[in-house]
Amino acid sequence: MVDDRSDNAEPAFTPVARAGDIPAGEGRTFEVAGRLVAVFFDGRDYHVLDDLCPHMGASLGSGPFVDGVVTCPWHAWRFRACDGAWCDNDKLRVAVFPVRVVDGAIEVAVPVSG
């Protein structure tokens, strides 16, 4: 059997919701490729981050989202949606993932963990 996958292959985009399902200033959590991701809408663009806060594992998708920053609902750690950086020390980051809207569907690309 031949495996046609390449280690450099781009992850596939997976639809998670419809445009308009996530109100501006809010986030929602979805499972994509076996991983929980948080999708946020700033009123113009969608942003996707790893859903789990690295501090204690809270869901970032349920945290407040203001001015492009999501705040962990448990201990108020803040992360920039544009790059996943912790606002108090940008050396700590959560993963960010590509997102697009195609025919009204919000699609997220998450690498499949091996």
Query: Cα 1 to the chain's mean position, in Å?
Result: 35
Is the pLDDT at 90 greater than 70, yes or no? yes
How far apart are the C-alpha atoms of 14 and 101, rounded to whole Å? 11
Higher pLDDT, 55 or 6: 55
The pTM of the full predicted model, rounded to 2 decimals, is: 0.88
DSSP strand pairing (26-32 vs 46-50):
unpaired
CATH code, residues 15-109 = 2.102.10.10
The residue behind tokens 């920039």 is 80
Nearest C-alpha neighbor of 34 from the set 20, 46, 50, 21: 50
**Rounded Cα distance, 23 and 18, in Å:** 11
Q: What is the residue extent of each domain of the chain?
A: 15-109
pLDDT at 89 (0 to 100)? 94
CB 113 within 8 A of CB 35: yes
Digit-coded pLDDT (tens) for 19-46: 999 999 999 999 999 999 999 999 999 9
